[in-house]
Amino acid sequence: MDYKLESMLKIFNLLRKANGLNRERVCFYGLNDLESVVSIHLGMEEITTQKILSAKFKVPKQTINNVIMNLRDKGLVELRTDKDDKRVKNLFLTEEGKKQISEILVPINQANREMYEDLGEENVEKITEAMELLIDSIGKNFKKEDA
């Protein structure tokens, strides 16, 4: 096989493996990977909307809407009409959501700190830069496929 293709396949296989391991660790807490990321984000932000989350995670609005509805059905999230724009629904964690997220965040944050220590600051920065390059390249080259 072509070395360049082999190298790219290796990168995507590693990403798939990392994503699978991350999915496994958040599923332990009863959430899927996107529900956990959205919940954690809601726990860290004062006000956010479906549109903001969709842009931040580069996920279709309908997908974010499904996640929000699942979290609402679990009693973790509530939607409130924005004071300035009645068309906008702001998202907030419920009291139960705050409680659950704080319980989930303790072990996840501890594991994240341990991973950071294992990797070291320099490697974390290199990985972040490499991932950003990969994402930009995928975006650029995916558009070429559409033409």
Given this model, what pLDDT does residue 40 score? 82
Given this model, what pLDDT does residue 25 score? 85
Q: Which domains does the chain have, with CATH numbers?
A: 31-124 (1.10.10.10)
3-state secondary structure the chain: CCHHHHHHHHHHHHHHHHHHHHHHHHHCCCCCHHHHHHHHHHHHCCCEEHHHHHHHHCCCHHHHHHHHHHHHHCCCEEEEECCCCCCCEEEEECHHHHHHHHHHHHHHHHHHHHHHHHHCHHHHHHHHHHHHHHHHHHHHHHHHHHC
**Residues of the chain falling short of pLDDT 50:** none
Given this model, what pLDDT does residue 146 score? 53
Given this model, what pLDDT does residue 22 score? 86
Given this model, what pLDDT does residue 129 score? 98
Given this model, what pLDDT does residue 147 score? 52
